[in-house]
Amino acid sequence: MDKRESMWDVYLRKGMSRRSFLKGCAALTAMMGLSSDKVAKVAEAAEKKPLPVVVWIHGHECTGCDESFIRSAAPLASDVVLNEVALEYDHLLSAASGAPFEAHLDEVIQKYKGQYILAVEGAACTKDNGVYCMSGGHTFTHLLQKAAAGAAAIIAYGTCAVSGGIQAASPNPTGSSGIAHFTGSKPVVNVPGCPPIPEVMTGVVMHVALFGTVPPLDSEGRPRQFYGNRIHDTCYRRPFFDAGMFAENFDDEGSKAGWCLYKLGCRGPETYNSCGNMRWFQGMSYPIQSGAPCIGCSNAHFWDEGPMSRRLPQFSPAVDVDTIGAGLAAVTAVGVVGHAAASVVQKKKRIAAEQAEKGSGEE
Ligand code: FSX
Ligand code: SF4
Ligand code: F3S
């Protein structure tokens, strides 16, 4: 097999300094959720390990995940794509297309069998043998199975790839689902969000690329460093929740004063993601900071749990808000237990929904 360059080799070839290489390694370390004493380990891996080959495919989706990815600031998405991984095939970012491009994919799959990272965005469409989502003259599910068979690890980017997303929303006319049914026994890292946070996307692929292992995952296959907290746990409006100060309408005084959005449908108390601490657009903002309740976009089947303006159903409106605040504060205090319980509840909901779908839509 030909010698592949390491990240350091690429920096050298492009005349970039050792200083910028180390800065890049420091940024990667932070984005992988590792402490700063791991920078040397990351630099060592980046210096010696050949650039990992990445194949990136797209099923049923809106392309929002890629729109998110290309906005990653630390590390820059362009650095990841041009200097830090060998991106051999990408439905969206590759300039090539047509038959030679598809032939190249087959070559890559053969040549790097068992070594490449497969990144998948979008749902798998199953109805009518998958004809509603085609790629290169074949169904997406065919491509997915083919690419998954030789992958070292698989990353499911976005709620669509993890659990079907908007395509799978009732009545799910295309029989869409998450990709897990098509990936066999390969380890899959689930990175939900519609779309996921840019730096979470780059952080996850670089963790797999540099360490050759998937990051520590929770019971739903999500990287713990990015999905270990609920939006509610890190929300700057949380003091208003605990004090029982809620906006009742989008244009009332409470709304203007930045009070808690729980009564306007905020799903923060049941949603695991890093929006509250990492935020979006280089830490500038996130939905709640913009005055919009969290709609739980990293939760499976969040599209079907509307209307999104309705407050969380598990809390009775009869219970006064102070009680809710105190109850949730207690859950936060035992976050690990709370997380496990929420995961079980979500899993049960998902299984029930999948069974209902099987019964009604799919062939
Ligand atoms: Fe889905 Fe992503 Fe939402 Fe869109 O690839 S998670 S619809 S932002 O684009 O898949
Ligand atoms: Fe923040 Fe929503 Fe929790 Fe209120 S309910 S504190 S707005 S996450
Ligand atoms: Fe999504 Fe809620 Fe974050 S809607 S973007 S998980 S604040």
The pTM (predicted TM-score) of the whole model is 0.85
**99, 56: one domain:** yes
Q: Which domain holds residue 239?
A: 231-351
Confidence of residue 318 (pLDDT cuts 50, 70, 90): very low
Sort 204 into a burial class: Cβ within 10 Å, 0-12 / 13-18 / 19+. Answer: buried
Confidence of residue 313 (pLDDT cuts 50, 70, 90): low
Residue indicated by tokens 């083919």: 146
Atom of ligand 1 nearest to the CA of 123: 10
Tell me, what's the pLDDT at 314? Answer: 56
Mutate to test the pocket of ligand 3, among 286, 299, 308 (most ligand atoms within 8 A of CB): 286
Chain mean pLDDT for the chain: 86
**83, 126: one domain:** yes
**209, 97: one domain:** yes
189-205 pLDDT, tens digit each: 999 999 999 999 999 99
Tokens in use for 189?
């890292």
Q: How many domains does the chain divide into?
A: 2
Mutate to test the pocket of ligand 1, among 56, 57, 58, 63 (most ligand atoms within 8 A of CB): 63
Mutate to test the pocket of ligand 1, among 160, 197, 299, 302 (most ligand atoms within 8 A of CB): 160
Atom of ligand 1 nearest to the CA of 63: 9
pLDDT of residue 320 exceeding 60, the answer is: no
Measured distance CA(231)–CA(311) in Å, rounded: 15
Tokens in use for 191?
């990175």
- Give 3-state DSSP helix, strand, coil % of the chain, rounded to 5: 50, 15, 40
**311, 258: one domain:** yes
Residue-level length of the chain? 363
CATH of the domain at 102: 3.40.50.700
Task: Residue 208: count other Cβ atoms within 10 Å of its Cβ.
Answer: 24
As a whole number, mean pLDDT of residues 150-178 equals 97
Sort 180 into a burial class: Cβ within 10 Å, 0-12 / 13-18 / 19+. Answer: middle
**61, 187: one domain:** yes
Contact of 224 with 49, CB cutoff 8 Å:
no
343-354 pLDDT, tens digit each: 344 445 544 554
Contact of 155 with 205, CB cutoff 8 Å:
yes
Pocket of ligand 2 (CB under 6 A): 231-232, 235, 237-238, 241, 260-262, 266, 268-269, 288, 294
Domain boundary among 179, 196, 227: 227
As a whole number, mean pLDDT of residues 79-101 equals 89
Residues 6+ apart with CB under 8 A from 326: 242
Measured distance CA(360)–CA(82) in Å, rounded: 46
Tell me, what's the pLDDT at 325? Answer: 46
Which residue's CA is the closest to the ligand 2 atom numbered 4?
Answer: 260
Confidence of residue 335 (pLDDT cuts 50, 70, 90): very low
Tell me, what's the pLDDT at 306? Answer: 76
pLDDT of residue 328 exceeding 60, the answer is: no
* Residue 197 near ligand 3, beta carbon < 6 Å: no
Which residue's CA is the closest to the ligand 2 atom numbered 5?
Answer: 262
Tell me, what's the pLDDT at 305? Answer: 87
Q: Is 211 left (phi over 0), alpha (psi -120 to 50) or beta?
A: alpha
Higher pLDDT, 340 or 183: 183
* Residue 261 near ligand 3, beta carbon < 6 Å: no
pLDDT of residue 209 exceeding 70, the answer is: yes
Tell me, what's the pLDDT at 333? Answer: 41
As a whole number, mean pLDDT of residues 281-308 equals 93
Q: Cα torsion for 89, 153, 275, 62, to the nearest 10°?
A: 40
The answer as to whether 98 is a domain residue is yes
* Residue 273 near ligand 3, beta carbon < 6 Å: yes
**67, 108: one domain:** yes
As a whole number, mean pLDDT of residues 80-101 equals 89
Tell me, what's the pLDDT at 310? Answer: 81
Number of H helices, E strands in the chain: 15, 9
The percentage of the chain sitting over the pLDDT mark of 90, rounded to a whole number, equals 64
pLDDT of residue 94 exceeding 80, the answer is: yes
Task: Residue 33: count other Cβ atoms within 10 Å of its Cβ.
Answer: 20
